[in-house]
């Protein structure tokens, strides 16, 4: 069987990413911080430059050629995202700033309808953006926040899922792929349990949508959130998918221009979906850029992107496991991230020495402080991969880890 690397022309993919040509501290850049944000292909950069040079205008309001062109491109991007995640229509797709804003939108709009004592279930592995909004709203509105535990491997514990999703649960909000452990959660199965209990299923897809084919209807997710900047798109544009009947029943999150149908001195009626949730001037160039990023990924094929991720992460785990004193966190079957520690060296020191070798990784709590307390570590180092990375880069990273060990004499 052909490897994905053989199917994809990695060298020509790399040529699309201008930043990969640069050097850091005199060494070729090895960019392994893709879970924080991905690099951008020239197609995306050029589309945004083209927008500003040729048809920059505000959308939905200007009856002139530029305004019509900008509106058409921005709306087209909604449609591309709908196709990308197999949603019914562009009306299911709301543009936000990022995953964080998408999840806050859902949290505010959904908890408004809950009563004291109602329960929300999240897990121990959630990113702060799928944790803090629920925690704060639970405190303000007298709701109960429940935590699904992880097992020793770093997967969601089956018993804890059943214990924490009950008839009292109104919302289950889980990450699809953990940004620390790489765990791929069985969202479809958990959505079924949530729905049997009449709870809604909210999914943080920040680390999943960039890396695997997503079918929101197969998953039966009620809401699915992700960020453009982690999937070759620009910063400042994120997505919230929602089932139409739910979005229609929800109160807007932001009020102001463009989200209205009619305003009088006595009241306001709201616009149709998705505009009801897109108040004010949106990030137009960013929406256009995200549309082009989606074209890029679609042309390669998300099954190929996922296949390539698997090759890279398996190779990295294999090579890291051969280094004495390295602890790897998370299950064998994982997304495109590997978190680790080297002996008792602080993760920041590991990252700093790797940086001097041109290797960019992330170190810290990865916006998952509760998870760090479960893992009983203050921080981890994390290497995260994407389609333009190579095995040679992983070799350079492993050489860097040996340098870390030499510097610390372990």
Ligand X SMILES: Cc1ncc(COP(=O)(O)O)c(C=O)c1O
Footprint of ligand X (CB under 6 A) = 35-36, 98-100, 127, 129-130, 175, 179, 204, 206-207, 227
Question: CB of 162: closest distance to ligand X in angstroms?
Answer: 24
- Taking the least distance from each CB to ligand X, the nearer of 31 and 55 is 31
- Taking the least distance from each CB to ligand X, the nearer of 8 and 210 is 210
68 vs 63: CA distance, rounded Å? 7
148 vs 13: CA distance, rounded Å? 40
Is 162 exposed, middle or buried (CB count within 10 Å of its CB: 0-12, 13-18, 19+)? Answer: exposed
- Taking the least distance from each CB to ligand X, the nearer of 169 and 207 is 207
How many CB atoms neighbour CB 108 within 10 A? 16
Strands 337-342 and 380-384 come out as antiparallel
Please tell me the total number of residues recorded for the chain in this structure: 410
Is 45 exposed, middle or buried (CB count within 10 Å of its CB: 0-12, 13-18, 19+)? Answer: middle
- Taking the least distance from each CB to ligand X, the nearer of 70 and 137 is 137
Q: In what order do the strands lie in the sheet with 337-342?
A: 326-329, 337-342, 380-384, 362-364
Q: Which among 10, 367, 372, 407 is annotated as catalytic?
A: 367
- Taking the least distance from each CB to ligand X, the nearer of 164 and 175 is 175
- Three-state DSSP state, 56: coil
Residue whose C-alpha is closest to residue 143's, from 205, 222, 199: 199
* DSSP secondary structure, 171-182, as one string: EEEEESB-TTT-
Active-site residue, 367 included: yes
Q: Are 135 and 145 in contact (CB under 8 A)?
A: yes
Question: CB of 102: closest distance to ligand X in angstroms?
Answer: 8
- Three-state DSSP state, 198: coil
Question: CB of 207: closest distance to ligand X in angstroms?
Answer: 5
Cα 147 to Cα 157, 179, 333, 370: the distances in Å are 11, 17, 23, 10
403 contact partners, CB below 8 Å, separation of at least 6: 353, 357
- Taking the least distance from each CB to ligand X, the nearer of 70 and 351 is 351
Question: CB of 142: closest distance to ligand X in angstroms?
Answer: 26
Question: CB of 245: closest distance to ligand X in angstroms?
Answer: 26
Question: CB of 126: closest distance to ligand X in angstroms?
Answer: 8
Looking at the annotation, which residues are catalytic?
A: 367
């Amino acid at each position: 069987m052909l490897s994905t690397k053989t199917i994809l022309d990695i060298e020509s993919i790399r040529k699309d990413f201008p930043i990969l040509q640069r050097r850091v501290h005199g060494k070729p850049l090895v960019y392994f911080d893709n879970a924080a944000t991905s690099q951008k292909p020239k197609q995306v950069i050029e589309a945004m430059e083209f927008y500003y040079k040729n048809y920059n205008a505000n959308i939905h309001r200007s009856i002139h050629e530029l305004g019509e062109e900008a509106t058409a491109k921005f709306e087209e991007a909604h449609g591309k995202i709908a196709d990308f995640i197999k949603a019914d229509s562009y009306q299911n797709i709301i543009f936000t700033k990022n995953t964080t804003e998408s999840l806050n939108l859902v949290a505010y709009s959904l908890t408004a309808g809950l009563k004291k004592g109602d329960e929300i279930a999240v897990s121990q592995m959630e990113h702060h953006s799928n944790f803090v909004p629920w925690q704060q709203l639970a405190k303000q509105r007298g709701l109960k926040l429940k935590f699904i535990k992880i097992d020793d491997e770093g997967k969601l514990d089956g018993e804890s899922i059943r214990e924490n999703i009950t008839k009292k649960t109104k919302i289950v909000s889980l990450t699809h792929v953990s940004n620390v452990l790489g765990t791929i959660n069985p969202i479809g199965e958990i959505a079924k349990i949530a729905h049997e209990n009449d709870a809604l299923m909210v999914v943080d897809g920040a680390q999943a949508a960039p890396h695997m084919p997503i079918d929101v209807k197969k998953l039966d997710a009620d809401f699915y959130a992700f960020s453009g900047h982690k999937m070759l798109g620009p910063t400042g544009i994120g997505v919230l998918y929602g089932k139409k009947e739910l979005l229609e029943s929800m109160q807007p999150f932001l009020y102001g221009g463009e989200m209205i149908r009619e305003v009088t001195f006595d009241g306001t009626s709201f616009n149709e979906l998705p505009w009801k949730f897109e108040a004010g001037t949106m990030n137009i160039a960013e929406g256009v850029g995200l549309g082009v990023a989606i074209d890029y990924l679609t042309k390669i094929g998300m099954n190929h992107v996922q296949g390539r991720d698997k090759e890279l992460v398996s190779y990295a785990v294999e090579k890291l496991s051969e280094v004495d004193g390295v602890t790897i966190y998370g299950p064998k079957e994982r997304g495109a991230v590997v978190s680790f520690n080297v002996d008792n060296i602080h993760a920041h020191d590991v990252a700093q020495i790797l940086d001097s070798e041109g290797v960019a990784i992330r170190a810290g709590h990865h916006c998952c402080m509760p998870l760090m307390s479960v893992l009983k570590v203050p921080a981890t180092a994390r290497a995260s991969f994407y389609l333009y990375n190579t095995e040679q880069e992983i070799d350079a990273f492993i050489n860097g880890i040996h340098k870390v060990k030499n510097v610390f004499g372990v």
